[in-house]
Amino acid sequence: MGLPRFGRPKGVEGELSPNLFVANCGPAVGYSHDTIASVFSAFGEVKGVCAADESGARVIVSYCDESSARVALEALDGHPCPDLGGRSLHIRYSVLQPTSQGKVNDSVPVSLVALDLNIPGLYLLHDFVSPKEEEELLAAVDDKPWKSLAKRRVQHYGYEFCYEVNEYPRGVGLSPHIDTHSAFEGFIFSLSLAGPCIMEFRRYTEGAWLPKDTSSTSTMVQTPENGPNFLRRAIYLPPRSMLLLSGEARYAWHHYIPHHKIDLVKDSVVRRGSRRVSFTFRKAKTDPCQCEFPQYCDSHR
């Protein structure tokens, strides 16, 4: 889940902007974006409020005009705000910055249920295991040796290249990929334990990406972090939930976990735990893939 990029205005000293960077204010300190918008609307029409970064304690308040932003800054910067619990706000002007592709790195709404994503073949079951079963499973894997990768640890069961247990330290995610078609059958299950995360899905249009590795011994087909032509969806995976990828969700949508320590879910701040352990279940495939998505399939290439 990306966040808009803001920076200081360029030009002469004192240049105005309709956007204000507001510190010591946000969901992490108990105030929703709607509440903040209501408070700042006393100085003019507020176009919107969004997170300034992943802390949850800094926001961007965007006005429809620069004069409203100026009045709000003069009234609230460095002064206790009675409508926000008497908090002293620290405010400066800010401007929206383009990404290297010339586009704003806007955030994607995070859903709580798979049905909201409208991705065929994607299912999420909450509380698939009990807290006691979760504790027993974590104890079982911690009793076995781990293999360290660059940013996370894994345990292998079955084929060596098939990562069936993954441990993600806080803040560590997963690059966008589709599990290789010819290596695995059509159902992929992922059980999340210990900590929550956000998983994003991307559907690239044909010709918008090229894989780095099409060998059948790779578990991933990598793509660029950002592309000009793709759909984005995101879902919150709570501890003890089971995710199923099948059909189109398994064969045509890239999935990845953003590298965040804090996620924004429905205007709430969710802090990732010290670790997340993923049990990923795949069935090895020995014959070529016959899926209906040749543009994403290594067997068709």
CATH number at residue 152: 2.60.120.1520
**Three-class SS of residue 260?**
coil
HSE-up (13 A, CA, CB side) for residue 206:
4
**Is 132 found in the same domain as 57?**
no
Q: Cβ atoms within 10 A of the Cβ of 70, count?
A: 19
In this predicted model, which residue has the larger pLDDT, 85 or 128? 128
**Which CATH number goes with the domain that contains 75?**
3.30.70.330
- The residue among 96, 121, 140 that closes a domain is 96
Q: List the single range of 137-141, 182-186, 260-264, 277-281 with lowest mean pLDDT.
A: 260-264
- Residue 183's pLDDT is 86
Between residues 262 and 23, the one the model is more confident about: 23
Helix ranges, 60-178 (H): 66-76, 131-142
Decide if 301 is inside a domain: no
CA distance 249 to 253: 5
Q: Verify that 192 and 241 share a domain, yes or no.
A: yes
What percent of the chain clears pLDDT 90, i.e. is strictly above it? 28
Q: Is 53 domain-assigned?
A: yes
* Structural domain range at position 269: 110-296
Q: State CA 250 to chain mean position distance.
A: 18
| Residue 262 falls inside a structural domain | yes
Question: What's the confidence (pLDDT) of residue 230?
Answer: 76
Least confident of 124-133, 228-237, 246-255: 228-237
Same domain, 91 and 145: no
**Same domain flag for 153 and 64:** no
Using the predicted structure, report yes or no on whether residue 12 has a pLDDT greater than 50.
no
> Could you give the percent of the chain with pLDDT greater than 70?
73
Same domain assignment for residues 252 and 149: yes
In this predicted structure, what is the pLDDT of residue 170?
62
Does one domain contain both 81 and 116? no
What predicted TM-score, i.e. pTM, was given to this entire model? Answer: 0.59
Average pLDDT, the chain: 78
Q: Mean pLDDT over residues 44-53, rounded?
A: 83
pLDDT at 9: 46
CB 1 within 8 A of CB 264: yes
Q: Is the pLDDT of residue 242 over 70?
A: yes
Average pLDDT over residues 172-179: 71
User: What pLDDT digit, counting tens, does each position of 127-160 carry?
Assistant: 999 999 999 999 998 888 877 665 677 776 666 5
Q: Check whether 95 has a pLDDT greater than 50.
A: yes
Q: Considering the domain boundaries, does residue 103 fall inside one?
A: no
Tell me how far the alpha carbon of residue 30 is from its chain's centroid: 22
- Tell me what the mean pLDDT of segment 1-27 comes to: 65
Clarify whether residues 117 and 256 are in a common domain.
yes
Structure confidence at residue 13 (pLDDT): 45
Q: Is residue 286 one of the residues assigned to a domain?
A: yes
Q: Could you tell me if residue 101 is inside a domain? A: no
Looking at the structure, do residues 153 and 249 belong to the same domain, yes or no?
yes
Choose one of 96, 118, 139: the last residue of a domain: 96
Is residue 68 located within the same domain as residue 143?
no
Contacts for 258 with CB less than 8 Å, ≥ 6 apart? 1, 2, 173, 198, 200
Answer yes or no: do 13 and 154 share one domain. Answer: no
What is residue 260's predicted lDDT score, i.e. its pLDDT?
Answer: 73
Do 168 and 43 lie in one domain? The reply is no
Residue after which a domain boundary falls, among 64, 96, 128: 96
Quote the number of domains for the chain: 2
